Homo-oligomer: A and B are copies of this chain.
Protein backbone atom coordinates (compact mmCIF):
# COMPACT_ATOMS: atom_id res chain seq x y z
CA UNK A 1 0.00 0.00 0.00
CA UNK A 2 1.35 3.38 -1.00
CA UNK A 3 0.48 6.46 1.09
CA UNK A 4 -2.96 7.20 -0.40
CA UNK A 5 -4.09 3.56 -0.27
CA UNK A 6 -2.75 3.29 3.25
CA UNK A 7 -4.96 6.22 4.31
CA UNK A 8 -8.01 4.48 2.80
CA UNK A 9 -7.09 1.30 4.65
CA UNK A 10 -6.62 3.10 7.96
CA UNK A 11 -9.96 4.92 7.66
CA UNK A 12 -11.69 1.67 6.79
CA UNK A 13 -10.16 0.12 9.89
CA UNK A 14 -11.41 3.01 12.05
CA UNK A 15 -14.92 2.59 10.65
CA UNK A 16 -14.75 -1.13 11.40
CA UNK A 17 -13.55 -0.34 14.94
CA UNK A 18 -16.58 1.89 15.42
CA UNK A 19 -19.06 -0.80 14.37
CA UNK A 20 -17.31 -3.57 16.28
CA UNK A 21 -17.42 -1.40 19.42
CA UNK A 22 -21.18 -1.03 18.81
CA UNK A 23 -21.59 -4.76 19.54
CA UNK A 24 -19.26 -4.65 22.54
CA UNK A 25 -16.35 -6.33 20.76
CA UNK A 26 -12.80 -5.69 21.97
CA UNK A 27 -9.81 -5.56 19.67
CA UNK A 28 -6.94 -8.01 20.05
CA UNK A 29 -3.95 -8.92 17.91
CA UNK A 30 -2.83 -12.52 17.51
CA UNK A 31 0.40 -13.92 16.15
CA UNK A 32 0.65 -14.60 12.39
CA UNK A 33 2.89 -17.58 12.93
CA UNK A 34 0.97 -20.55 14.27
CA UNK A 35 1.72 -24.18 14.96
CA UNK A 36 0.65 -27.00 12.67
CA UNK A 37 -0.18 -29.13 15.74
CA UNK A 38 -3.01 -26.77 16.71
CA UNK A 39 -4.58 -27.11 13.26
CA UNK A 40 -4.25 -30.86 13.41
CA UNK A 41 -6.38 -30.91 16.55
CA UNK A 42 -9.37 -29.48 14.64
CA UNK A 43 -8.62 -31.59 11.57
CA UNK A 44 -8.13 -28.53 9.38
CA UNK A 45 -4.49 -29.10 8.50
CA UNK A 46 -4.53 -30.72 5.11
CA UNK A 47 -0.85 -31.06 4.33
CA UNK A 48 0.66 -31.04 0.86
CA UNK A 49 -0.90 -28.90 -1.87
CA UNK A 50 -3.00 -26.97 0.64
CA UNK A 51 -3.33 -23.21 0.95
CA UNK A 52 -1.03 -23.06 3.97
CA UNK A 53 2.30 -21.32 3.75
CA UNK A 54 4.74 -23.42 5.74
CA UNK A 55 7.37 -21.68 7.82
CA UNK A 56 10.70 -23.18 8.67
CA UNK A 57 12.59 -22.01 11.75
CA UNK A 58 16.04 -22.86 13.05
CA UNK A 59 14.69 -25.73 15.13
CA UNK A 60 12.65 -27.20 12.28
CA UNK A 61 9.40 -26.72 14.22
CA UNK A 62 6.19 -27.31 12.22
CA UNK A 63 4.91 -23.77 11.74
CA UNK A 64 2.32 -22.15 9.46
CA UNK A 65 1.28 -18.64 8.52
CA UNK A 66 -2.29 -18.25 9.81
CA UNK A 67 -4.92 -18.00 7.06
CA UNK A 68 -7.52 -17.36 9.80
CA UNK A 69 -7.54 -17.61 13.61
CA UNK A 70 -10.35 -19.87 14.87
CA UNK A 71 -7.84 -22.33 16.31
CA UNK A 72 -5.65 -19.68 17.94
CA UNK A 73 -8.48 -17.67 19.52
CA UNK A 74 -10.41 -20.73 20.71
CA UNK A 75 -7.31 -22.11 22.34
CA UNK A 76 -6.55 -18.70 23.95
CA UNK A 77 -10.09 -18.03 25.16
CA UNK A 78 -10.46 -21.64 26.31
CA UNK A 79 -7.51 -21.10 28.65
CA UNK A 80 -9.15 -17.99 30.17
CA UNK A 81 -12.88 -18.68 30.58
CA UNK A 82 -14.28 -21.00 33.19
CA UNK A 83 -17.91 -20.15 33.75
CA UNK A 84 -21.06 -18.89 32.03
CA UNK A 85 -20.28 -15.61 33.87
CA UNK A 86 -17.22 -15.09 31.61
CA UNK A 87 -19.36 -14.90 28.48
CA UNK A 88 -20.61 -13.34 26.22
CA UNK A 89 -17.16 -12.48 24.94
CA UNK A 90 -16.54 -10.81 21.57
CA UNK A 91 -13.00 -10.37 20.29
CA UNK A 92 -11.83 -9.13 16.92
CA UNK A 93 -8.68 -8.12 15.14
CA UNK A 94 -7.69 -6.45 11.88
CA UNK A 95 -4.57 -8.20 10.68
CA UNK A 96 -2.69 -9.76 7.81
CA UNK A 97 -3.66 -13.22 6.76
CA UNK A 98 -1.84 -15.60 4.47
CA UNK A 99 -3.24 -18.04 1.92
CA UNK A 100 -1.12 -19.77 -0.68
CA UNK A 101 -3.68 -19.35 -3.48
CA UNK A 102 -3.17 -21.62 -6.47
CA UNK A 103 -4.10 -18.71 -8.74
CA UNK A 104 -3.55 -15.34 -7.04
CA UNK A 105 -5.02 -12.61 -9.26
CA UNK A 106 -6.63 -9.19 -9.62
CA UNK A 107 -4.20 -7.57 -7.19
CA UNK A 108 -5.81 -6.98 -3.81
CA UNK A 109 -8.93 -8.95 -4.76
CA UNK A 110 -7.14 -12.26 -4.44
CA UNK A 111 -3.65 -11.89 -3.06
CA UNK A 112 -1.65 -14.35 -1.01
CA UNK A 113 -1.07 -11.78 1.77
CA UNK A 114 -4.16 -9.77 2.66
CA UNK A 115 -5.85 -7.88 5.49
CA UNK A 116 -8.93 -9.24 7.20
CA UNK A 117 -11.12 -8.23 10.10
CA UNK A 118 -12.09 -11.33 12.03
CA UNK A 119 -14.52 -11.23 14.93
CA UNK A 120 -14.99 -14.27 17.18
CA UNK A 121 -17.95 -14.57 19.52
CA UNK A 122 -18.35 -16.85 22.54
CA UNK A 123 -21.72 -17.58 24.13
CA UNK A 124 -23.24 -19.71 26.83
CA UNK A 125 -25.67 -21.66 24.69
CA UNK A 126 -27.01 -21.87 21.16
CA UNK A 127 -30.00 -19.48 21.51
CA UNK A 128 -27.67 -16.81 22.90
CA UNK A 129 -25.13 -17.50 20.13
CA UNK A 130 -27.86 -17.00 17.53
CA UNK A 131 -28.86 -13.70 19.18
CA UNK A 132 -25.22 -12.65 18.95
CA UNK A 133 -25.22 -13.67 15.28
CA UNK A 134 -28.21 -11.41 14.64
CA UNK A 135 -26.60 -8.48 16.47
CA UNK A 136 -23.46 -8.82 14.35
CA UNK A 137 -25.60 -8.93 11.18
CA UNK A 138 -27.16 -5.61 12.20
CA UNK A 139 -23.69 -4.15 12.84
CA UNK A 140 -22.53 -5.37 9.40
CA UNK A 141 -25.54 -3.75 7.75
CA UNK A 142 -24.83 -0.50 9.62
CA UNK A 143 -21.14 -0.66 8.61
CA UNK A 144 -21.82 -1.15 4.89
CA UNK A 145 -24.58 1.46 4.98
CA UNK A 146 -22.29 4.07 6.60
CA UNK A 147 -19.58 3.14 4.11
CA UNK A 148 -22.02 4.24 1.40
CA UNK A 149 -21.58 1.41 -1.06
CA UNK A 150 -24.45 -0.71 -2.45
CA UNK A 151 -24.23 -4.24 -1.05
CA UNK A 152 -26.10 -7.55 -1.22
CA UNK A 153 -26.46 -10.00 1.69
CA UNK A 154 -26.70 -13.61 0.51
CA UNK A 155 -27.31 -16.92 2.23
CA UNK A 156 -24.10 -18.85 1.99
CA UNK A 157 -22.46 -22.18 2.38
CA UNK A 158 -20.68 -22.61 5.70
CA UNK A 159 -18.21 -24.91 3.96
CA UNK A 160 -15.35 -26.21 6.07
CA UNK A 161 -16.09 -23.78 8.88
CA UNK A 162 -18.67 -25.96 10.57
CA UNK A 163 -22.07 -24.71 11.73
CA UNK A 164 -25.21 -24.28 9.68
CA UNK A 165 -25.91 -20.54 9.50
CA UNK A 166 -23.89 -18.32 7.24
CA UNK A 167 -24.24 -15.10 5.26
CA UNK A 168 -22.07 -13.37 2.72
CA UNK A 169 -21.78 -9.64 2.07
CA UNK A 170 -21.17 -8.76 -1.56
CA UNK A 171 -20.50 -5.77 -3.76
CA UNK A 172 -21.98 -6.30 -7.23
CA UNK A 173 -19.21 -6.00 -9.80
CA UNK A 174 -18.26 -7.50 -13.17
CA UNK A 175 -14.85 -8.28 -11.62
CA UNK A 176 -16.44 -10.58 -9.06
CA UNK A 177 -15.76 -14.28 -8.75
CA UNK A 178 -19.02 -15.11 -6.97
CA UNK A 179 -22.50 -15.52 -8.45
CA UNK A 180 -25.44 -14.37 -6.36
CA UNK A 181 -28.88 -15.55 -7.41
CA UNK A 182 -31.53 -12.99 -6.47
CA UNK A 183 -35.27 -13.51 -6.87
CA UNK A 184 -37.52 -10.71 -8.16
CA UNK A 185 -40.46 -12.04 -6.12
CA UNK A 186 -39.32 -13.19 -2.67
CA UNK A 187 -36.17 -11.01 -2.78
CA UNK A 188 -34.01 -13.87 -1.44
CA UNK A 189 -30.34 -13.63 -2.35
CA UNK A 190 -28.35 -16.85 -2.29
CA UNK A 191 -24.84 -17.72 -3.35
CA UNK A 192 -25.27 -19.94 -6.40
CA UNK A 193 -23.10 -22.55 -4.67
CA UNK A 194 -26.11 -23.25 -2.44
CA UNK A 195 -28.56 -23.73 -5.31
CA UNK A 196 -29.30 -27.14 -6.76
CA UNK A 197 -31.96 -26.76 -9.46
CA UNK A 198 -34.36 -29.63 -9.97
CA UNK A 199 -35.25 -30.60 -13.53
CA UNK A 200 -39.02 -30.62 -12.97
CA UNK A 201 -38.94 -27.09 -11.58
CA UNK A 202 -37.45 -25.70 -14.73
CA UNK A 203 -40.02 -24.17 -17.02
CA UNK A 204 -40.87 -25.88 -20.25
CA UNK A 205 -39.50 -22.94 -22.27
CA UNK A 206 -36.25 -24.91 -22.17
CA UNK A 207 -35.03 -25.91 -25.58
CA UNK A 208 -35.43 -29.47 -26.70
CA UNK A 209 -32.26 -31.25 -25.73
CA UNK A 210 -33.41 -34.65 -26.99
CA UNK A 211 -31.47 -34.18 -30.19
CA UNK A 212 -28.30 -33.26 -28.36
CA UNK A 213 -25.43 -35.67 -28.48
CA UNK A 214 -21.97 -35.14 -27.11
CA UNK A 215 -20.47 -36.38 -30.34
CA UNK A 216 -22.21 -33.85 -32.54
CA UNK A 217 -19.88 -30.93 -33.06
CA UNK A 218 -22.35 -29.18 -35.35
CA UNK A 219 -25.95 -28.05 -35.00
CA UNK A 220 -27.56 -25.47 -32.76
CA UNK A 221 -26.73 -27.01 -29.40
CA UNK A 222 -24.25 -29.48 -28.03
CA UNK A 223 -22.80 -30.69 -24.76
CA UNK A 224 -19.56 -30.18 -22.89
CA UNK A 225 -17.64 -32.30 -20.46
CA UNK A 226 -16.17 -31.33 -17.12
CA UNK A 227 -13.60 -33.57 -15.46
CA UNK A 228 -12.82 -33.98 -11.79
CA UNK A 229 -10.91 -36.31 -9.53
CA UNK A 230 -11.89 -37.86 -6.21
CA UNK A 231 -9.74 -37.00 -3.21
CA UNK A 232 -8.51 -40.59 -2.95
CA UNK A 233 -7.47 -40.28 -6.63
CA UNK A 234 -9.37 -43.49 -7.45
CA UNK A 235 -12.33 -42.02 -9.36
CA UNK A 236 -12.15 -39.82 -12.44
CA UNK A 237 -15.51 -38.06 -12.83
CA UNK A 238 -16.79 -36.85 -16.18
CA UNK A 239 -19.87 -34.62 -16.04
CA UNK A 240 -21.63 -34.06 -19.37
CA UNK A 241 -23.94 -31.04 -19.54
CA UNK A 242 -25.82 -29.19 -22.30
CA UNK A 243 -24.45 -25.97 -23.76
CA UNK A 244 -24.50 -24.03 -27.01
CA UNK A 245 -21.66 -23.97 -29.45
CA UNK A 246 -22.97 -21.21 -31.71
CA UNK A 247 -23.97 -17.64 -30.85
CA UNK A 248 -27.72 -17.03 -30.59
CA UNK A 249 -29.69 -13.89 -31.39
CA UNK A 250 -31.61 -13.03 -28.23
CA UNK A 251 -29.87 -11.79 -25.06
CA UNK A 252 -30.98 -14.67 -22.81
CA UNK A 253 -29.78 -17.18 -25.36
CA UNK A 254 -26.39 -15.50 -25.63
CA UNK A 255 -25.94 -15.89 -21.90
CA UNK A 256 -26.39 -19.63 -22.35
CA UNK A 257 -23.12 -19.67 -24.28
CA UNK A 258 -21.43 -19.12 -20.94
CA UNK A 259 -23.15 -22.15 -19.50
CA UNK A 260 -20.80 -23.94 -17.15
CA UNK A 261 -20.93 -27.05 -15.03
CA UNK A 262 -22.28 -26.36 -11.54
CA UNK A 263 -19.87 -28.03 -9.16
CA UNK A 264 -22.26 -28.19 -6.18
CA UNK A 265 -24.72 -30.10 -8.40
CA UNK A 266 -22.01 -32.56 -9.39
CA UNK A 267 -21.13 -33.07 -5.72
CA UNK A 268 -24.81 -33.45 -4.76
CA UNK A 269 -25.34 -36.10 -7.44
CA UNK A 270 -22.33 -38.12 -6.26
CA UNK A 271 -22.71 -38.28 -2.45
CA UNK A 272 -20.15 -41.06 -2.09
CA UNK A 273 -17.38 -39.29 -3.98
CA UNK A 274 -15.33 -36.61 -2.25
CA UNK A 275 -14.16 -34.41 -5.10
CA UNK A 276 -10.85 -32.61 -5.12
CA UNK A 277 -10.85 -28.92 -6.06
CA UNK A 278 -8.19 -26.67 -7.48
CA UNK A 279 -6.94 -29.24 -10.01
CA UNK A 280 -4.82 -27.64 -12.68
CA UNK A 281 -6.30 -29.77 -15.48
CA UNK A 282 -7.75 -33.16 -14.56
CA UNK A 283 -8.01 -34.06 -18.25
CA UNK A 284 -4.26 -34.54 -18.23
CA UNK A 285 -4.77 -37.44 -15.86
CA UNK A 286 -7.41 -38.84 -18.17
CA UNK A 287 -5.24 -38.43 -21.26
CA UNK A 288 -2.29 -39.97 -19.48
CA UNK A 289 -4.39 -43.08 -18.89
CA UNK A 290 -6.32 -43.21 -15.64
CA UNK A 291 -6.10 -46.65 -14.06
CA UNK A 292 -8.97 -46.59 -11.56
CA UNK A 293 -12.69 -45.95 -11.89
CA UNK A 294 -14.11 -43.68 -14.59
CA UNK A 295 -17.57 -42.37 -13.72
CA UNK A 296 -19.74 -40.51 -16.21
CA UNK A 297 -22.50 -38.26 -14.88
CA UNK A 298 -25.10 -37.00 -17.33
CA UNK A 299 -27.41 -33.98 -17.13
CA UNK A 300 -31.07 -35.14 -17.24
CA UNK A 301 -31.69 -32.97 -20.31
CA UNK A 302 -29.28 -35.11 -22.32
CA UNK A 303 -30.17 -38.65 -23.43
CA UNK A 304 -28.50 -41.52 -21.58
CA UNK A 305 -25.57 -42.73 -23.60
CA UNK A 306 -22.20 -44.32 -23.54
CA UNK A 307 -19.40 -41.88 -24.17
CA UNK A 308 -17.59 -44.49 -26.18
CA UNK A 309 -14.27 -43.09 -25.08
CA UNK A 310 -11.33 -45.32 -24.29
CA UNK A 311 -13.09 -48.46 -22.97
CA UNK A 312 -9.84 -50.29 -23.48
CA UNK A 313 -8.02 -47.97 -21.13
CA UNK A 314 -10.51 -47.39 -18.28
CA UNK A 315 -12.61 -49.44 -15.96
CA UNK A 316 -15.76 -47.57 -17.02
CA UNK A 317 -18.60 -47.39 -14.53
CA UNK A 318 -22.20 -47.33 -15.70
CA UNK A 319 -23.22 -43.85 -16.80
CA UNK A 320 -25.25 -42.10 -14.10
CA UNK A 321 -28.14 -39.73 -14.68
CA UNK A 322 -27.69 -36.67 -12.40
CA UNK A 323 -30.08 -37.20 -9.47
CA UNK A 324 -30.38 -36.14 -5.84
CA UNK A 325 -32.93 -37.40 -3.29
CA UNK A 326 -34.72 -39.24 -6.10
CA UNK A 327 -35.09 -36.12 -8.28
CA UNK A 328 -33.35 -35.20 -11.50
CA UNK A 329 -31.09 -32.18 -11.06
CA UNK A 330 -29.44 -29.82 -13.52
CA UNK A 331 -25.68 -29.94 -13.87
CA UNK A 332 -25.43 -26.32 -15.03
CA UNK A 333 -25.07 -23.09 -13.07
CA UNK A 334 -28.25 -21.05 -12.43
CA UNK A 335 -28.92 -18.47 -15.15
CA UNK A 336 -30.92 -15.25 -15.44
CA UNK A 337 -34.62 -16.05 -15.77
CA UNK A 338 -34.52 -19.44 -14.00
CA UNK A 339 -37.38 -20.16 -11.64
CA UNK A 340 -36.56 -19.25 -8.01
CA UNK A 341 -35.80 -22.42 -6.06
CA UNK A 342 -37.05 -20.74 -2.88
CA UNK A 343 -40.51 -19.29 -3.69
CA UNK A 344 -41.04 -21.23 -6.96
CA UNK A 345 -42.88 -18.18 -8.31
CA UNK A 346 -40.33 -15.49 -9.09
CA UNK A 347 -37.54 -15.52 -11.60
CA UNK A 348 -33.95 -14.98 -10.64
CA UNK A 349 -31.26 -12.55 -11.67
CA UNK A 350 -27.70 -13.80 -11.46
CA UNK A 351 -25.37 -11.09 -10.14
CA UNK A 352 -21.61 -11.27 -10.45
CA UNK A 353 -20.26 -10.06 -7.14
CA UNK A 354 -17.18 -9.62 -4.99
CA UNK A 355 -17.44 -11.19 -1.55
CA UNK A 356 -16.26 -8.71 1.07
CA UNK A 357 -17.72 -10.20 4.25
CA UNK A 358 -18.76 -13.56 5.60
CA UNK A 359 -20.47 -14.49 8.88
CA UNK A 360 -20.72 -17.99 10.35
CA UNK A 361 -22.47 -19.51 13.31
CA UNK A 362 -19.87 -22.11 14.29
CA UNK A 363 -21.57 -23.93 17.15
CA UNK A 364 -19.02 -26.11 18.95
CA UNK A 365 -17.00 -26.99 15.84
CA UNK A 366 -13.83 -25.54 17.40
CA UNK A 367 -14.62 -25.29 21.11
CA UNK A 368 -15.14 -29.06 21.35
CA UNK A 369 -11.79 -30.33 19.96
CA UNK A 370 -9.89 -27.44 21.59
CA UNK A 371 -11.69 -27.92 24.92
CA UNK A 372 -12.98 -24.35 25.37
CA UNK A 373 -15.64 -25.17 27.94
CA UNK A 374 -17.57 -23.37 30.64
CA UNK A 375 -19.52 -24.38 33.74
CA UNK A 376 -23.22 -23.82 33.10
CA UNK A 377 -25.72 -21.88 35.17
CA UNK A 378 -27.94 -24.92 35.69
CA UNK A 379 -25.18 -27.23 36.86
CA UNK A 380 -21.88 -25.80 38.05
CA UNK A 381 -20.25 -29.23 38.18
CA UNK A 382 -20.81 -29.83 34.51
CA UNK A 383 -18.81 -28.13 31.76
CA UNK A 384 -20.03 -27.65 28.21
CA UNK A 385 -18.22 -26.40 25.10
CA UNK A 386 -18.83 -22.72 24.47
CA UNK A 387 -20.96 -21.74 21.42
CA UNK A 388 -19.02 -19.75 18.85
CA UNK A 389 -19.45 -17.55 15.82
CA UNK A 390 -16.96 -15.96 13.45
CA UNK A 391 -17.46 -12.94 11.27
CA UNK A 392 -15.01 -11.72 8.64
CA UNK A 393 -14.54 -8.64 6.51
CA UNK A 394 -11.95 -8.69 3.74
CA UNK A 395 -10.43 -5.29 4.42
CA UNK A 396 -7.80 -4.98 1.67
CA UNK A 397 -10.14 -6.66 -0.81
CA UNK A 398 -12.88 -4.17 0.15
CA UNK A 399 -10.53 -1.32 -0.80
CA UNK A 400 -10.01 -2.91 -4.23
CA UNK A 401 -13.70 -3.74 -4.66
CA UNK A 402 -14.81 -0.18 -3.87
CA UNK A 403 -12.12 1.23 -6.16
CA UNK A 404 -13.31 -1.05 -8.93
CA UNK A 405 -17.07 -0.49 -8.68
CA UNK A 406 -17.05 3.24 -7.93
CA UNK A 407 -14.42 4.53 -10.35
CA UNK A 408 -15.43 6.36 -13.52
CA UNK A 409 -13.63 7.40 -16.73
CA UNK A 410 -11.77 10.20 -14.93
CA UNK A 411 -10.34 8.07 -12.15
CA UNK A 412 -11.11 6.65 -8.74
CA UNK A 413 -14.11 7.81 -6.70
CA UNK A 414 -13.99 7.28 -2.94
CA UNK A 415 -16.83 7.45 -0.41
CA UNK A 416 -16.02 10.51 1.75
CA UNK A 417 -15.67 8.46 4.95
CA UNK A 418 -12.70 6.46 3.61
CA UNK A 419 -11.26 8.80 0.97
CA UNK A 420 -7.50 9.44 1.49
CA UNK A 421 -8.61 13.06 1.87
CA UNK A 422 -12.24 14.08 1.39
CA UNK A 423 -11.56 17.62 0.20
CA UNK A 424 -8.60 18.95 -1.78
CA UNK A 425 -8.04 22.70 -1.98
CA UNK A 426 -6.01 23.81 -5.00
CA UNK A 427 -4.86 27.45 -4.82
CA UNK A 428 -3.11 29.47 -7.51
CA UNK A 429 0.36 30.57 -6.36
CA UNK A 430 -0.05 33.49 -3.95
CA UNK A 431 -3.53 32.41 -2.80
CA UNK A 432 -2.36 29.85 -0.23
CA UNK A 433 -3.32 32.05 2.73
CA UNK A 434 -6.83 32.58 1.34
CA UNK A 435 -7.09 28.79 0.87
CA UNK A 436 -6.05 28.19 4.47
CA UNK A 437 -8.71 30.62 5.72
CA UNK A 438 -11.39 28.79 3.75
CA UNK A 439 -10.16 25.48 5.20
CA UNK A 440 -10.30 26.68 8.79
CA UNK A 441 -13.83 28.05 8.36
CA UNK A 442 -14.88 24.79 6.70
CA UNK A 443 -13.48 22.79 9.63
CA UNK A 444 -15.49 24.81 12.12
CA UNK A 445 -18.75 24.51 10.17
CA UNK A 446 -18.28 20.79 9.50
CA UNK A 447 -17.80 20.28 13.23
CA UNK A 448 -21.00 22.20 14.02
CA UNK A 449 -22.97 20.28 11.36
CA UNK A 450 -21.70 16.86 12.46
CA UNK A 451 -19.80 16.31 9.20
CA UNK A 452 -16.36 16.33 10.82
CA UNK A 453 -16.02 12.52 10.66
CA UNK A 454 -16.02 12.90 6.90
CA UNK A 455 -13.87 16.02 6.67
CA UNK A 456 -10.17 15.55 6.01
CA UNK A 457 -8.72 18.38 3.93
CA UNK A 458 -5.47 18.54 2.02
CA UNK A 459 -3.99 21.69 0.54
CA UNK A 460 -2.28 20.93 -2.77
CA UNK A 461 0.47 23.54 -2.71
CA UNK A 462 2.78 21.62 -5.05
CA UNK A 463 4.57 23.73 -7.59
CA UNK A 464 2.70 22.39 -10.65
CA UNK A 465 0.32 23.70 -13.33
CA UNK A 466 -3.26 23.95 -12.02
CA UNK A 467 -4.53 21.75 -14.89
CA UNK A 468 -2.13 19.00 -13.87
CA UNK A 469 -3.24 19.32 -10.24
CA UNK A 470 -6.95 19.03 -11.12
CA UNK A 471 -6.29 16.01 -13.34
CA UNK A 472 -4.31 14.41 -10.49
CA UNK A 473 -7.14 15.16 -8.00
CA UNK A 474 -9.64 13.45 -10.33
CA UNK A 475 -7.40 10.41 -10.72
CA UNK A 476 -6.92 10.03 -6.97
CA UNK A 477 -10.65 10.37 -6.43
CA UNK A 478 -11.00 13.08 -3.75
CA UNK A 479 -14.79 13.53 -3.47
CA UNK A 480 -14.66 17.35 -3.46
CA UNK A 481 -12.24 19.73 -5.19
CA UNK A 482 -12.09 23.44 -4.32
CA UNK A 483 -10.14 25.68 -6.70
CA UNK A 484 -9.03 29.04 -5.31
CA UNK A 485 -8.16 30.72 -8.59
CA UNK A 486 -8.45 33.99 -10.53
CA UNK A 487 -12.18 34.39 -9.79
CA UNK A 488 -11.32 34.62 -6.10
CA UNK A 489 -9.26 37.73 -6.66
CA UNK A 490 -11.84 39.28 -9.01
CA UNK A 491 -15.18 38.31 -7.45
CA UNK A 492 -14.43 36.47 -4.21
CA UNK A 493 -15.69 33.17 -5.64
CA UNK A 494 -14.12 29.72 -5.71
CA UNK A 495 -14.87 26.72 -7.91
CA UNK A 496 -16.36 23.67 -6.16
CA UNK A 497 -16.34 20.35 -8.04
CA UNK A 498 -17.94 17.07 -7.06
CA UNK A 499 -18.19 14.35 -9.72
CA UNK A 500 -20.45 12.09 -7.69
CA UNK A 501 -23.03 14.81 -7.09
CA UNK A 502 -22.51 16.14 -10.62
CA UNK A 503 -21.71 19.57 -9.16
CA UNK A 504 -19.32 22.10 -10.72
CA UNK A 505 -19.99 25.75 -9.86
CA UNK A 506 -18.36 28.97 -8.82
CA UNK A 507 -19.67 29.96 -5.41
CA UNK A 508 -18.90 32.78 -2.99
CA UNK A 509 -16.03 31.80 -0.68
CA UNK A 510 -18.28 32.54 2.31
CA UNK A 511 -20.79 29.93 1.12
CA UNK A 512 -18.19 27.14 0.91
CA UNK A 513 -18.30 25.94 4.56
CA UNK A 514 -22.05 25.29 4.48
CA UNK A 515 -22.16 23.93 0.95
CA UNK A 516 -19.24 21.52 1.36
CA UNK A 517 -20.37 20.31 4.81
CA UNK A 518 -23.78 19.46 3.33
CA UNK A 519 -22.19 17.71 0.35
CA UNK A 520 -19.98 15.62 2.65
CA UNK A 521 -23.04 14.42 4.56
CA UNK A 522 -24.46 13.16 1.24
CA UNK A 523 -21.28 11.40 0.02
Give me the interface of A with B, judged by CB distance under 8 Å: 1-3, 6-7, 9-10, 26-29, 31-33, 49, 53-58, 63, 65, 91, 96, 98, 100, 102, 112-113
Which residue of the partner chain, among B6, B53, B58, B91, contacts A100 with CB atoms under 8 Å? Answer: B58
Closest 8 CB pairs of A and B: A3-B26, A1-B29, A54-B56, A6-B27, A57-B100, A53-B55, A58-B100, A6-B29
Q: How far is the CA of A1 from the CA of B91 in the complex (A)?
A: 11
Chain B residues with CB under 8 A of A9: 29
Chain B residues with CB under 8 A of A32: 32, 96, 113
Q: Is the interface of A mostly helix, strand, loop or mixed?
A: mixed
Closest to A25 in B: B3
Which residue of the partner chain, among B7, B33, B53, B102, contacts A98 with CB atoms under 8 Å? Answer: B33
Q: How far is the CB of A323 from chain B (nearest CB, A)?
A: 36
Q: How far is the CB of A295 from chain B (nearest CB, A)?
A: 28
Q: How far is the CB of A481 from chain B (nearest CB, A)?
A: 21
Closest to A93 in B: B6
Q: How far is the CA of A131 from the CA of B33 in the complex (A)?
A: 39
Chain B residues with CB under 8 A of A100: 57-58
Chain B residues with CB under 8 A of A2: 28
Closest to A33 in B: B113
Q: How far is the CA of A149 from the CA of B112 in the complex (A)?
A: 40
Q: How far is the CB of A4 from chain B (nearest CB, A)?
A: 9
Which residue of the partner chain, among B1, B56, B91, B102, contacts A3 with CB atoms under 8 Å? Answer: B91
| Given A6-B29, A32-B32, CB of A58 within 8 Å of CB of B65 | no
Q: How far is the CB of A76 from chain B (nearest CB, A)?
A: 9
Q: How far is the CA of A58 from the CA of B54 in the complex (A)?
A: 9
Chain B residues with CB under 8 A of A112: 33, 57
Q: How far is the CA of A27 from the CA of B6 in the complex (A)?
A: 7
- Whether the pair A53, B53 counts as a contact (CB closer than 8 A) is no
- Whether the pair B33, A6 counts as a contact (CB closer than 8 A) is no
Extra contacts besides A31-B113, A49-B58, A55-B56 (4): CB < 8 Å? A3-B26, A32-B32, A32-B113, A58-B102
Q: How far is the CA of A52 from the CA of B55 in the complex (A)?
A: 10
Chain B residues with CB under 8 A of A58: 49, 100, 102
Q: How far is the CB of A154 from chain B (nearest CB, A)?
A: 30
Provide 25 A-B residue pairs closer than 8 Å at the C-beta atoms, listed in order of the A residue: A1-B28, A2-B28, A3-B26, A3-B27, A3-B91, A6-B29, A7-B27, A9-B29, A10-B27, A32-B32, A32-B113, A33-B98, A33-B112, A33-B113, A49-B58, A53-B55, A53-B57, A53-B63, A54-B56, A55-B55, A55-B65, A56-B56, A58-B100, A58-B102, A96-B96
Which residue of the partner chain, among B7, B29, B53, B57, contacts A56 with CB atoms under 8 Å? Answer: B53
- Whether the pair B31, A3 counts as a contact (CB closer than 8 A) is no
Chain B residues with CB under 8 A of A1: 28-29
Q: How far is the CB of A111 from chain B (nearest CB, A)?
A: 9
- Whether the pair B3, A28 counts as a contact (CB closer than 8 A) is yes
Chain B residues with CB under 8 A of A28: 1-3, 6
Q: How far is the CB of A82 from chain B (nearest CB, A)?
A: 16
Q: How far is the CA of A28 from the CA of B54 in the complex (A)?
A: 26
Q: How far is the CB of A74 from chain B (nearest CB, A)?
A: 15
Chain B residues with CB under 8 A of A26: 3, 6
Closest to A3 in B: B26
Q: How far is the CA of A91 from the CA of B5 in the complex (A)?
A: 13
- Whether the pair B55, A54 counts as a contact (CB closer than 8 A) is yes
Q: How far is the CA of A37 from the CA of B409 in the complex (A)?
A: 39
Chain B residues with CB under 8 A of A55: 53-56, 65
